[in-house]
Amino acid sequence: MSVSLTEAAQSATSPARDIRSTTLANGLLVLTEQMPHMRSVSMGVWVDSGSRDETAELNGISHFIEHMVFKGTTTRTAQQFAREVDGIGGNLDAFTGKETVCFNIKVLDENYGAALDLLSDLVLHPTFAAEDIAREQGVILEEIKMDEDNPDYLVHELFSQKFWKGDALGRPILGTVATVSSFDQATVLNAYADRFTSANMVFTAAGNIDHDRFVAAVEQHFASLAASYGAKPARTPAPTAYPHITLRNKKSLQQVQLCLAMPSLAVADPRRYTAYLLNTIFGSGMSSRLFQAIREERGLAYSIYSEMNPFRDTGSIAVYAGCAVDRTREVLDLTLAEMARVKAELVTDEELTRAKNQLKGNMVLGLESSSARMSSLARQQMYFGRFFSVDDITAEVERVSREDVQELARELFQPEKLALTLLGNLGSMKVERSTLVC
């Protein structure tokens, strides 16, 4: 290990988590969480930028690069990658989001060295051959067509494009037919060089792993990555949310897809646990008010739920449902009525207790695997710059009162901020804003 490494041990407030961090000489941050009771190791390279950090002309480039790195490196073909991953019994995966790109692998602890070699080669040495770029353009154009044929996906995209109008946050992660078709080798190489820098990446690992040995191995692989302290792609300002009513006719659909949404809190907002509890009571889960009122009591929809979509500087809370066209207005009115009720009346003690138990259970159970811990390390570092123990989280959840939930509901559930998207065989259906009352 280079003597120029600077190390800062990160002690977690809960003794159950052994989290340590080291910054390599080139500025790459390496985070580990030792879980000695595990037989697995999960590791991931996280790029701290995604589709919302793209220009309109480069919409979809992050996702395109995510695909392209799997097409071969200076030392391995795509087929060799597949064989070597299978040969160590590993799970190699990647995904692109609005604010991040991740490449990750999970293996038995005895194979973590081979896994690190594969992951680092994938991220650091892609060839981006021109013939591979042309071939992958065809693949992604088919992916775009496939998603546009999916009504669940399409209603989300229609909502986002109008809600975050004119902003990268509203553009599709996959890009468009026009943008993807325009990518060439120079475009891909330049975008890769801008984003895959030591200052814009975090390497995280969790499982049966020794921090010092792991850092030494990472440094050996990533020493070739040039130092880039503080160099990150420019951040766009928080976008304006636009209330809208969008009705899109698609005669081939048997159901109407409904999305009713409004602005919500950013991911690190101090009231985030109040927002999670409000969402849980309102529309997340089988005991939620929406599920009970719309599906269980009236049988109007099979799928009905609400979800939080937090980002680094803004967010939304949205209700999604699929129902028959002649039931759409009733589903919409019942949803608005439940919004009005949570604003007018305090939630019950029983509801709040149940929601707290559900939220705490989901969070704790969601941290039981090495891959979940690996992801948690990256997200907490990128969004908070610190790590929260289970005790920290549960204490924050328990502090939320019924009055807190009502106060936030009154702030968020405002008729003038509502955005409604309907997709389906709508016929002559019309919705006036004056009828969106909550």
Q: Which residue type, as a one-letter code, is found at position 413?
A: F
66 in active site: yes
Q: Give the separation between CA 374 and CA 214, rounded to whole angstroms.
A: 14
Q: Residue 104, SS3? A: strand
DSSP conformation class of 128 = -
Q: How many CA atoms lie within 13 A of 286 on its CB side?
A: 0
Tell me, rounded to whole angstroms, the distance of Cα 130 from its chain centroid: 30
CB neighbour class for 340 (10 Å; exposed up to 12, middle 13-18, buried from 19): middle
Owner of token pair 């042309």: 134
Report the residue count for the chain. Answer: 438
Tokens describing residue 222: 């990533």
Q: Residue 105, SS3? A: strand
The residue annotated as part of the active site, out of 33, 54, 66, 157, is 66
Tokens describing residue 56: 């309109």
Q: What is the largest CA-CA distance in the chain?
A: 72
CB neighbour class for 44 (10 Å; exposed up to 12, middle 13-18, buried from 19): buried
Pure H helices in 97-210:
112-124, 130-148, 151-163, 177-182, 185-195
Which of 403, 409, 421 lies closest to 278, judged by CA?
Answer: 409
Tokens describing residue 38: 């595990």
Q: Give the separation between CA 260 and CA 332, rounded to whole angstroms.
A: 8
- Catalytically active residues, by annotation: 66
